Amino acid sequence: MSITLGSVLISDPVDVCCGELLARNGIPVTIKYKLSKEELIKELQNHEGLIVRSETKVNNDVFARCPKLRVVGRAGTGVDNIDLQAATKKGVIVLNAPGANSISACELTCTLICNLARNVPQAVQSLKEGRWDRKLYAGFELSGKTLAVVGMGRIGREVARRMQAFAMRVIAFDPLLTQQVADEIGVEKLSLDEIWPTADYITVHTPLIPQTRNLINATTLAKCKKGVYIINVARGGIVDEEALLNALKSGDCAGAALDVFVEEPPKNPVTLQLIAHPKVIATPHLGASTEEAQQRVAEEIAQQFLALSGKSTKYAITGI
């Protein structure tokens, strides 16, 4: 069984191969970015499909006022900007491309861990500004240090594997991690209470859900080793930004690398102070921003739209 997709709106920058693939298979595509909510709703009166990345917020109002809409696809992993409950209520299918950008997010995480250990961004900036400050930017070896991976899904596992090549001891917590998988990857499966006082570096790779909101907070940071490093390339909100800022100011936390923030782009003063802190390396949600990942997510989401409309054999979508 398939559904008729007369046309599709792409409302965020997604690799061109997405629209091309749909158009080549007889699904007309309209590309319009930076639409206000009202503009989006007006435009969606004409389309059965919508493809977004992060900027477009597909909320209850959009689902309620766009009766033609049948499918929303996110060219990425998380579907945080799509109201799933509202979609379900209206019978709209929501698709994503989990896994298509995992390697890119993993590689950014590993890059940030190395940069934290060796103060690379700060040293580069200092030299560009004309200083020769070898003492200030001395760092630490990763070899022999303990990395905690919280969330051992697609990205967490890849990070664990790669950081083992630096001779790091990798410990991990994930409620779904089995002893067998932990043994296969060569990580030590610990409880969170065991993780906090043991880790030199803690990297989070969970979704943002009630159980993970503010997972790293004032209480958990107080249980960590003095001088712990925190890395978040998952979702803003998993780390309590105010608690992290306080731990950096007190020196309890030696540094943090953040790709994601509670509000994006960040405007609130706490986040801005955090980004400006000399011990923080901050990137503007670049985890999936590689040519390879963007092509993969774009193609995968287009293929899923084609499968839904009965035009592709690459994915078998059943039960519609």
155 binds ligand NAD (CB under 6 A): yes
Clarify whether 264 is annotated catalytic: yes
CB closest to ligand NAD, residue no: 153
154 binds ligand NAD (CB under 6 A): yes
Task: Give the 3-state secondary structure of residue 94.
Answer: strand
Per 3-state DSSP, the chain is made up of helix, strand and coil in percentages (nearest 5) of: 40, 15, 45
Q: Tell me the two tokens of residue 92.
A: 């709209």
Single residue of 13, 121, 207, 310 touching ligand NAD by CB under 6 A: 207
Clarify whether 169 is annotated catalytic: no
Single residue of 7, 41, 57, 98 touching ligand NAD by CB under 6 A: 98
15 binds ligand NAD (CB under 6 A): no
Question: Measuring CA to CA, which residue among 27, 82, 104 is closest to residue 286?
Answer: 104
Q: Chain centroid to CA 90: how far?
A: 27
The partner in contact with residue 259, picked from ligand NAD, ligand MLT, none with C-beta cut-offs of 5 to 8 angstroms by kind, is: ligand NAD
Question: Measuring CA to CA, which residue among 113, 108, 102, 194 is closest to residue 147?
Answer: 113
Residues in the chain: 320
Q: Tell me the two tokens of residue 11.
A: 């409302």
Residue the block writes with tokens 């298979």: 25
Residue 8, H or E segment? strand 8-10
The one segment of 99-107, 126-134, 161-169, 265-273 that binds ligand NAD by CB under 6 A? 99-107
Which of 235, 241, 296, 300 is the catalytic position?
Answer: 235
Name the minimum Å distance from CB 167 to ligand MLT. Answer: 30
Single residue of 14, 48, 72, 101 touching ligand MLT by CB under 6 A: 101
Single residue of 19, 49, 73, 76 touching ligand MLT by CB under 6 A: 76
Residue the block writes with tokens 């801005």: 272
290 binds ligand MLT (CB under 6 A): no
176 binds ligand NAD (CB under 6 A): yes
Single residue of 11, 56, 101, 303 touching ligand NAD by CB under 6 A: 101
Single residue of 288, 298, 308, 317 touching ligand MLT by CB under 6 A: 288
The smaller minimum CB distance to ligand MLT, of residues 99 and 121, is found at: 99
The smaller minimum CB distance to ligand NAD, of residues 11 and 206, is found at: 206
Q: Do 11 and 35 touch, CB atoms closer than 8 A?
A: yes
Q: Tell me the two tokens of residue 97.
A: 């491309």
Furthest-apart CA atoms within the chain: distance in Å: 67
Rounded to whole angstroms, the Cα distance separating 186 from 10 reads 42
265 binds ligand NAD (CB under 6 A): no
The one segment of 9-17, 18-26, 133-141, 281-289 that binds ligand NAD by CB under 6 A? 281-289
Helix axes 102-118, 291-308, angle to 10 degrees: 160
Clarify whether 235 is annotated catalytic: yes
Question: What 8-state DSSP symbol labels residue 225?
Answer: P
Under the rule (CB under 6 A), what is the footprint of ligand MLT? 53-54, 76-78, 101, 285, 287-288
Instruction: Report, as residue numbers or ranges, the catalytic residues.
Output: 235, 264, 285
